[in-house]
Structure 1
Amino acid sequence: MSTASLSSAPVSQARRYTPLTLARWMFAVAALVTLIVAVGGITRLTESGLSITDWRPVTGTLPPLSEAQWQAEFEAYQQIGEYMHEAGPRGMTLDDYKFIYFWEWVHRLLGRVIGLALLVPLVFFWAKGAIPQGYKPRFVALFALVCLQGAFGWFMVRSGLNEEMTDVSHFWLSIHLLTALFTLGGLVWTARDLLVLHRNPGARPARLTGLTLAVLAIVFVQLLLGAWVAGLNAGLASDSWPLMSGQFLPQFNWDAGFFYTLTHEPFLLHWLHRWWAWVAVIALIVLARAVKRAGDRRASVYIHSAFGTMVLLGIATVMSGVALWLAVAHQVVGALLVAAFAWGAHRLGTSEAAPVSEPARP
């Protein structure tokens, strides 16, 4: 075999895995992240998050396989405040414990699957020379975010593993959830960059525009408030809409101090979350209209559909007294809104980026 044919072998292998292949990989991982957000919502609403009291990244993949192992896990759970002050007095049985253990175990298992779904193809594509120039650091960063997400999840669980606490810290819960949503946005953004690169090998990555950053800040506040509402069970503060306790602006107790009340008072956080939503809606409408003017009507429609559905589900969740399926749907649509936002924001960044000239054809 000639030297020329040997040197062309890696090139021909790389061409088998185009940017379109990598984009599909990113979208598949994004779908898994959306799924874990849904399971995380179920885990939170069924109070399953503290059911596994240790963190074993490798050996913890398998659930208890014998009655003795189940008893040992249950006894460990009985040592924490959630069992002592809530689950125990309600008369929790071993079968009840197995139910909440299942959801936390599935949640952790999905986290491991997502890590592998990023790492294994990354190693493969890297070895094949199929990763476009400049994308290796981004893929490594996405994998690091997934690992960080797992670590944050454990810090969240650990915050509730004592005799005083009956729940996890809502601060750690918000960090855990927002990291997942940030990762989801990064996956979608990278997938869109790869799709553009597939169509135009000389295209530059999209950039964040001023409008995108402004809307992102507003949406971030709403997502943060939503995470705190979930962590403090503040959705139960009112089951009426639009009024709370018969008033648009109820009285709040500020005796604990401004900062503490702003970050810990369930009634106030519930009120802020339901009304800051309309600020986010206005910002998203502005963004969606800009995306439509940039030539992507479909992304604009998806943004409108996502925030419209999310608002309706939020109202229904409140009025249902936080029905599990409605609350989970509300959270999942929140993840879909992040994906739609990333798509639209990417389109704005692409339309304003000046692509380099395409390479000359032979």
Structure 2
Amino acid sequence: MTAGSSLSAAANHDRAIRIWLLAVAALVFVMVVVGGATRLTDSGLSITEWKPVTGSLPPLSHAHWLEEFAKYRASPQYQAINQGMSLADFQFIFWWEWGHRFLGRLIGAAMLLPWLFFVARGWLRGRLAAVTFGIGLMIGLQGLVGWIMVASGLKPGMVAVAPVKLMTHLVLACLILCALLWVALRLMPPRARETAPPIVRAGAIALFVTILVQIMLGALVAGNRAGLRFNDWPLMDGSLIPPAGILFDRPTIAEAFIDSLALTQFNHRLVAYGLLALAFWHMWTARGSAFAKGAVVLFGLVVAQAVIGIATLMLVVPLWAGLLHQGFALLVLGHAVAHMHGATRGGGAVEPSRFVRPVPAE
């Protein structure tokens, strides 16, 4: 094999691996949106057991449906808010949760099976094999975190999952998505690089971190169902800043930051304003550079997400708006990852040999 054909084969391998990672990232995106629907339809506690293997099959007979329904009727959520629910109503929420878990299993298979194939063929070696294996471990951990979250809502006296566990579940999904996108970007064909000015590089990193923090705060809002209260804007319950007694209505300040409907929503609003200002500042400082277009797009996405968030709040979180807000947040995060990659990696990808060992010449 000549040197030219060796490099061509390595580039083809990189392309196949990149497509694989982007496909898994797309599945993660769908998984998060379905998870949002599961939460908004109060379906997350409909399956009361964690069976990673045997649970992949849904009930296949009327008797099996009755058995699953009986397990749910013993749960605190049913006894507190869903007494008298029909079997058809239970099946509706069951299918949402089952679909969410099925997607989790599908993502695990979509990550593991191609990884084994690429390793067996020698396309994945060394650092790249280790990094992608680590992402696979994160996906496995996500399944465990998901069950811990569900289990928190099955405890006596609980009718929903714990907000901090919901936040952990969502943030881990976002980190998995970011890792998949980052590695895929690193496998892009090399091109001419331009070094980003330090202020642009710092701004790109700050925006990524702030967007991730904002998603964390949004998860606390969702976990507390705080979007169903304080549905005016730009005021909040008629005030620019709600009274301290409303914001800090929990026994401790720490509990208020996690469980107060008012404070979690207020914090989400404040960081949204800060994020808008940061995105505008970054767009301004990036003008005239090779990163200006990416900064403009990122600012536009942040503005659009703010508008969607305000509409979702003022409409009192209808299903379609809640899903749009959550899904669009991932699009904003994904672009922030790509923009940060360009700014911190010099606008180009590393040589394939840095990540994948070239095919040896014969």
Match of 2:19 in 1: 24
Q: Deviations over 1:131-179 (max 9, x none)?
A: 2652111101111111111111000000011231010011110000000
Is residue 242 of structure 2 the alignment partner of residue 250 of structure 1? yes
Call closer, same or farther: CA 1:302–1:353 in 2, change over 3 Å: closer
CA distance in 1 between counterparts of 2:352 and 2:286 reads: 24
Q: Which of 117, 123, 129 is matched with 1:130 structurally?
A: 123
Report the identity percentage.
35
Match of 2:85 among 86, 89, 92: 92
CA–CA distance in structure 2, aligned partners of residues 145 and 290 of structure 1: 35
Q: Is the 8 A contact 2:217 2:267 kept in 1?
A: yes
Residue 199 of structure 1 aligns to which amino acid in structure 2?
P
- Which amino acid letter does the alignment assign opposite residue 116 of structure 2? V
1:228 and 2:240 aligned? no
Q: How many residues align?
A: 345
The answer to whether the aligner puts 1:314 opposite 2:309 as a matched pair is yes
Residue of structure 2 aligned with 1:145, choices 138, 141, 150 = 138
> Following the alignment from structure 1 to structure 2, what is the Cα–Cα distance between the partners of residues 125 and 342?
25
Pairwise mapping of residues 289-304 of structure 1 onto structure 2 (< 5 A)?
294-304=289-299
- The residue type equivalent to 2:110 in the other structure is A
> Could you tell me which residue of structure 2 aligns to residue 259 of structure 1?
254
Structure 1 residue corresponding to 2:182, chosen from 177, 180, 189? 189
For structure 1, the 5+ residue unaligned runs are 202-207
Residue 195 of structure 2 is aligned to residue 199 of structure 1: no
Q: Is the 8 A contact 1:252 1:267 kept in 2?
A: no
Gaps of 5+ in 2: 193-199, 355-360
Counterpart check, 1:77 vs 2:84 = no
Scaled by the length of structure 2, the TM-score of the pair is 0.87
Instruction: Give the whole-Å Cα distance in 1 for the aligned partners of 2:262 and 2:352.
Output: 56
Aligned counterpart, 2:277: 282
Query: 1:165 maps to what in 2?
Result: 158
Aligned mates of 1:291, 1:354 — CA distance in 2? 20
Counterpart-to-counterpart distance in 1, 2:296 and 2:115: 33
Deviation larger for 278-287 or 296-305: 296-305
| Cα distance in 2 between the residues matched to 1:289 and 1:138 | 35
Q: Which residue does the alignment assign to 2:230?
A: 238
Q: 2:103 aligns with which of 110, 114, 129?
A: 110
Shift of 1:99: 0.2
Deviation of residue 289 (structure 1)? Answer: 5.3
Q: Is the 8 A contact 2:104 2:143 kept in 1?
A: yes
Q: How many Å separate the matches in 2 of 1:234 and 1:83?
A: 22
Partner of 1:58: 53
SS of match in other structure, 2:127: coil
Q: Distance in 2 between matches of 1:60 and 1:239?
A: 39
Q: What RMSD, in angstroms, separates the aligned Cα atoms of the two structures?
A: 3.0
Does the 8 A contact of 1:294 with 1:351 survive in 2?
Answer: no
Shift, 1:290, TM fit: 5.8
Where 2:231 maps in the other structure, the secondary structure is coil
1:72-91 per-residue CA deviation (whole Å, 9 max, x = no partner) reads 11111111111111111xx3
After superposition, the Cα gap between the structure-2 partners of 1:290 and 1:63, relative to the gap in structure 1 and judged at 3 Å, is farther
Distance in 1 (CA, whole Å) between partners of 2:182 and 2:139 is: 16
Is the 2:305–2:328 contact (alpha carbons within 8 Å) kept by the matching residues of 1?
Answer: yes
Q: After TM superposition, give the deviation of residue 282 of structure 1 in Å.
A: 2.1
Deviates more, 1:270-279 or 1:288-297: 288-297
Deviations 1:252-297 (A, max 9, x none): 3236222222221111211211221011122233445566655245
CA contact (8 A) 2:208 2:333 kept: no
In the alignment, what sits opposite 1:343?
338
Alpha-carbon distance, 1:209 to partner: 5.4
* 1:112 shift after superposition: 0.9
The amino acid that maps onto 1:78 is R
Q: More relative contact order in 1 or in 2 (CA 8 Å, sep 6+)?
A: 2
- Letter matched to residue 82 of structure 2: A
Describe the shift of the 1:243–1:125 C-alpha distance in structure 2 as closer, same or farther (beyond 3 A): same
Q: 1:214 and 1:48, CA in 2 relative to 1: closer, same or farther beyond 3 A?
A: same
Cα deviations by residue, 1:164-201 (Å, 9 ceiling, x for unpaired)? 10100111100000000111111111111100xx3369
Q: Distance in 2 between matches of 1:98 and 1:260?
A: 35
- 2:115 alignment partner AA: L
Flag the 1:293–1:109 CA change in 2: closer, same or farther, 3 A: farther
1:232-253 deviations in whole A, cap 9, x for unaligned?
1000112211112211111132
Q: Is residue 177 from structure 1 mapped to residue 174 from structure 2 by the alignment?
A: no
User: What SS does the corresponding residue of 2:74 show, helix, strand or coil?
Assistant: coil
